[in-house]
Structure 1
Amino acid sequence: MSAFLTLDAIALATPAGRPLFSSLSLAVGRERIGVVGRNGTGKSSLLRAILGEIPLQAGSLAIEGTVGLLRQTTQADNQTACEALGLAEHMDILRRIETGIADDVDFEQADWSLPQRLEKALLAAGLPVIDLERPLGSFSGGERTRIAIAGLLLDPPDLLLLDEPTNNLDQDGRNAVIALLASWRGGALVVSHDRDLLEGMDRILSLSPTDVAIHTGGWSSWAAKRDAAAARAEAELQNATRQLRSARREAQQAHERQARRDSAGRAYGASGSAPAILLGRQRERAENSGARGAVLSEQKVAMMAGSLASAREKVDVIAPLTMAMSPCGLPSHRLLIAFEDVCWQAGERKVIDTLSFELRGPERVALSGRNGAGKTSVFKLAAGLLTPTSGRIQRSDRLAWLDQSVGMLDRAMTLVENIRHLNPALDENAARAALARFAFRNKEGERLVRDLSGGECLRAGLACVLSAQPIPQLLMLDEPTNHLDLDSIEVIEQALCAYNGALLVVSHDPRFLEAIGVTRHIAL
């Protein structure tokens, strides 16, 4: 079977001309390929180029067969399931025929097999027979994803494109996407930061402005290969540093030896013990020898300096950022938050119903539940932004909440301005030092928040809340890994592991929850 998609030395750039990646050659057959890379490296742009929505900067691509895109459901909540599936017109024709009001055109256009194919597609997507006239807003996030999957299965494409398909989905929705790919018999190109989803890939395509790499296997084997490359790069950097230090030391020693010989020669000449012609020849030989030695020493130092710069570039590309976390001084049994039979209603709808739990000491707890179950409402109640309809809440005054959009940050202000606005006690130097602890160094403090990536925004939010005095002892994080690339997720994981306070987290990413040490789950 020939490839469904062939990419030949393609390159993409932003509309402003900034290179995204180049020299990508790839043939996609009956396989699942995960596409990874830092935010802004062109992953989504690759899918758009395949769909013909943006031009290639260089190279060519060829498509054999049909292409389908699984989009995250963005339709209006009042749109019906039938409209979301794109079947409203076809179902109206069949309905007119059934009620006896159809005309000749209806009979010509009728898709008689549609009801049977739709039922089969819905069952394959994990849904029972549904009321197609129900508004999308009445379905859970997972059900809406399964409806979108059923739409694909009605007439399966040869090549399936997925762009961050599990973002904002509950566990049910994530499982639906994972099941779809596990059973997919065509080709699939999957842009994702979901490590469980990437684990099932046949190959991993990694994009960056400096390198395009293709790895056979899923996420774990690719991550092991990446980590080994990072270790090699670090070893090369240390070796290059030692060699440059040694070359400089040898050059200095050679310079000192030459200076001693020159001094001895001048003393010998001043003694009058040798003929002038012999002294001239000795001086000429010494000068020539010294010049050659100096040139060789300088060349060796320059060569070692070049090797060091090259090794440092590799580490800069491969090594993730690191953040320094200050201790918060949380005692092991201090009560941070307690819900006692808490209820909260939105109009007539009871969102939270008699919820009770406690969080003490540096415990790490995950709040779980399907989309719409009230997880964000629990955070707002815990932060005092909502008042319970009934029940009682105890809370520490040393807690901080970071929502999905890190809404505490003013998008029109710089990082330095934001951190000083949120922490008025910090002067300019203290604010910059605090940002540096979270890997925003030097001129990066002047960046506007609106220009930051999702991972940088979350890092900036952590810098702001963890620079408060006293430091918060409880962090509440609402889907912190949404819209982050894999490198950023790992940086956040490392930072939260180093934080010695308590965590209350909403996340549908089980690997993230495991990595940050969650030990208890509260299900809504």
Structure 2
Amino acid sequence: MSALLILQNVSHTTAEGRELFKSLDLSLERGCTGLVGRNGVGKSTLLKLVAGDFAPQSGTVSRTGSLGLLEQSVHNSDFRTVVDAMGVAEAYQTIWRIMAGNGTPADFEKADWTLQSRLIEALAQVGMQECDPLRDLSTLSGGQRTRIALAALIFSKPDLILLDEPTNNLDREGREAVTDFLLHWKGGALVVSHDRQILRQMDRIVELSGLGVKTYGGNWDDYKEQKGREVEAAERELIVAERDAALLSRKIQIAAERKAKKDSAGKRSRGKAGLSKLILDAREDRAEQSSGRGKQLADRQRQKAEQKLQSAVSNIERLKSLSFEIGASRTPAGKIVLAFDEVFGGPDMRAPIINELSFTITGSERMAITGPNGSGKTTLLRLAMGELLPTSGRLHRSGPFAMLDQCVSLLDPASTILENFKRLNPDSTDNDCRAALARFLFRADSALRLASSLSGGEILRAGLACVLGSNAPPDLLILDEPTNHLDLMSVEAIETALNAYDGALLVVSHDEDFLAAIGIEKWLAL
């Protein structure tokens, strides 16, 4: 099977001089390929190189056939109607004028009589066959607009499609549309995503790291299994390297002690040997040369063992997920931390988004709020936090709360991580602050970084550190789409942190893998 895309010896450096990748080789055929890696490693840049947005600084990018790009979302500010979004507005208007009896000779000359049937076919493949091609996009939901974007791809029939985080900010309907599309796609696809449901539709996973690219056969679950074996092998390698380094260090120490004892004995016997000074000096020179060669050999062996050990340590750091330690909230099992009793509310008191809503969270229960975009999930969280007052009904809160939104707005971007922690935990000592931040991997000078300088994963980790790292974590933690814009390593780190937290959770998320990983027990669908 011929390759649709070939990258040979491709290198790229950022404007700030940071090398993203060097001498990178990659070949893609038909089928779906997921591109994964930490944020900042260069996934989006690589996609732009493939799309031809700019040329690589060295190496070549060769494409065979046509290329299509799936927009993350189709906004009615970009396109007015469905045919606008599908790129055929003018051709469709030509047919429309002819059908209405207003066609000109020029219209008849350029009319594409297959256009309408091809449009209907493309829309039908994404479940939008009943949609009027002239319908205004502003009347469609976010998930429906995503389906229109997919229909536009199907209509243009590219050989290779590029998708950059296609499910970010999409509701469940939009995510399902993208998943179903990829399941039935017959061409080639290169997909940058942290959505594990999407990655399960892949035929292969390509991991981009500072070491280059590595291809794993199979989908996300197969990739994780292979990575698990790599971690086990790396841990065995580290154990062997640590043992070898310790044995070598002891061996060198014993040899040095024997040499010192022998040299000391030689010096004591020098005056008693009755030999000339010339002979004694020559013997001492030979001994010193032998000692020097032995020291050089020992240094080389020590350096080699140290390099092997450092390599094993760095390999473990590259492969293993992050882990955290969190103090206990000690919330009593039967304590009601949040209760809605027939609550109505919303930003506009005359037209409440939340209507007659009732639920209760007790002890360490974990609840997920789901529903399409615009159904009132964020409004519910604002009511829970007291930022909005209900128009009617009763709302009960008990104990300390904390909320982390997508932007982690509780952090002051102009302050350091340490300053933010002290502001949010005024009773903590300096040692408490440092120890808490270290548990979330902000050690020493890294705690002095400005919040504005942090990546998406780092800023959420800093927010969790400030909220959960104190001596008294909150009884209830509220999270609004916490995994949006995070790479998979960061998502898994957040899952680890939340599993170590023993308080109650109220979470808005469309990421079903994330909700399953953090042990959601109750669901509320809006």
> What TM bracket, shorter-length normalisation?
over 0.9
Listed as ranges, the matches of 1:241-280 within 5 Å are 241-269=242-270, 272=272, 275=275
Aligned 1:90-489 pairs, distance under 5 A: 90-269=91-270, 272=272, 275=275, 283=284, 286-347=287-348, 349-468=351-470, 470-489=472-491
CA contact 1:416–1:428 (8 Å) conserved in 2: no
CA distance in 2, matches of 1:142, 1:458: 27
Instruction: Identify the residue that residue 10 of structure 1 maps to in structure 2.
Output: 10
| 1:207–1:213 Cα contact (<8 Å) kept | yes
SS at match of 2:353: strand
**C-alpha distance in structure 2 between counterparts of 1:373 and 1:208, whole Å:** 39
Structure 1 stretch 75-84 or stretch 374-383: which is displaced more? 75-84
Amino acid at match of 1:126: G
Q: Secondary structure at 1:505's aligned position in 2? A: strand
CA displacement at 1:161 relative to structure 2: 0.9
Q: SS state of the match for residue 411, structure 1? A: coil
Q: Does 1:56 align with 2:56?
A: yes
1:87 equivalenced with 2:88 (yes/no):
yes
1:512 equivalent among 511, 514, 524: 514
The count of corresponding residues between Structure 1 and Structure 2 is: 523
1:254–1:293 CA contact under 8 A, matched in 2 = no
What is the one-letter code of the residue matched to 1:52? G
In 2, are the aligned partners of 1:75 and 1:84 still within 8 Å (CA)? no
Secondary structure of 1:328's aligned partner: coil
SS at match of 1:144: helix
Task: Answer yes or no: is the 8 Å Cα contact 1:408–1:461 preserved in 2.
Answer: yes
Secondary structure of the residue aligned to 2:10 is strand
Using structure 1 for the length normalisation, give the TM-score.
Answer: 0.94
Contact 1:45 1:54 in 2 (8 A): no
Cα distance change of structure 1 residues 346 and 135 upon mapping to structure 2, 3 Å threshold: farther
What amino acid is the match of 1:187?
A: G
CA displacement, residues 68-111 of structure 1 (integer Å, 9 cap, x when unaligned): 11111252458333433333323322232233333222223323
After TM superposition, the structure 1 stretch with the greater mean CA deviation from structure 2, 329-338 or 303-312, is 303-312
> 1:281 Cα deviation (Å)?
6.8
Shift of 1:279: 6.0
The answer (yes or no) to whether the contact 2:121–2:129 under 8 Å persists in 1 is no
2:345–2:352: 8 Å Cα contact kept in structure 1? yes
> Cα distance, 1:18 vs. partner?
1.6
Alpha-carbon RMSD across the aligned residues, in angstroms, is 2.2
Structure 2 match to 1:24: 24
Question: Given the superposition, is the C-alpha separation of residues 97 and 468 from structure 1 closer, same or farther in structure 2, using an over 3 Å criterion?
Answer: same
Residue 167 of structure 1 aligns to a residue whose secondary structure is: coil
1:25-66 CA-to-partner distances (Å, cap 9, x unmatched) read: 233222111111111111111221122112212211222211
SS where residue 263 of structure 1 aligns? helix
Cα offsets for 1:348-368 (capped at 9, x unmatched): 544212111111111111111
Cα deviation for residue 134 of structure 1 reads: 4.2
Q: Name the CA distance, whole Å, in 2 between partners of 1:491 and 1:159.
A: 33
| CA–CA distance in structure 1, aligned partners of residues 267 and 156 of structure 2 | 94
Choose 123-132 or 29-38, whichever is displaced more: 123-132
One-letter code of the match for 2:101?
G
SS at match of 1:508: coil
Letter in 2 for 1:72: Q
**In 1, Cα distance between equivalents of 2:3 and 2:305:** 46
* Match of residue 68 from structure 1: 68
Q: C-alpha distance in 2, partners of 1:285/1:13?
A: 54
Q: Is the 8 A contact 2:367 2:507 kept in 1?
A: yes
Partners of 2:333 and 2:111 in 1: CA distance: 69
Moved more, 105-114 or 401-410: 105-114
Give the partner amino acid of 2:164: D
Cα separation, partners in 2 of 1:441 and 1:98, compared to 1, 3 Å: same
**Residue type of the alignment partner of 2:422:** R
Identity of matched residues, %? 46
Change (3 A) 1:4 1:445: same
Distance in 1 between residues matched to 2:257 and 2:470, nearest whole Å: 54
List alignment gaps of at least 5 residues for structure 2.
none
Change in 2 beyond 3 A, CA 1:294/1:351:
same
Show CA shifts across 1:193-246 (max 9, x none): 111111121111111122310111111111111222222223222322222222
Q: How far apart are the structure 2 equivalents of 1:186 and 1:470?
A: 54
Of 84-93 and 331-340, more deviation after overlay is shown by 84-93
Instruction: Look up the equivalent residue of 2:306 and give its one-letter code.
Output: A
In structure 1, C-alpha distance between the alignment counterparts of 2:55 and 2:416, rounded to whole Å = 34
Q: CA deviation at 1:386?
A: 0.9
Task: Quote the residue 1:40 is aligned against.
Answer: 40
SS in structure 2 of the partner of residue 251 of structure 1: helix
What are the ranges of 5 or more consecutive residues in structure 1 without an aligned counterpart? Answer: none
Q: Which amino acid aligns with 2:4?
A: F
Task: Determine the C-alpha separation between the residues in 2 that align with 1:359 and 1:343.
Answer: 18
Q: Could you tell me how far apart the structure 2 residues matched to 1:118 and 1:80 are?
A: 13
Which deviates more, 65-74 or 126-135? 126-135
1:411 deviation in Å? 2.2
C-alpha displacement of 1:398: 1.3
Change (3 A) 1:241 1:97: same
1:105-147 CA-partner distances (Å, limit 9, x unpaired): 2223323222222222111101241244544343222111111
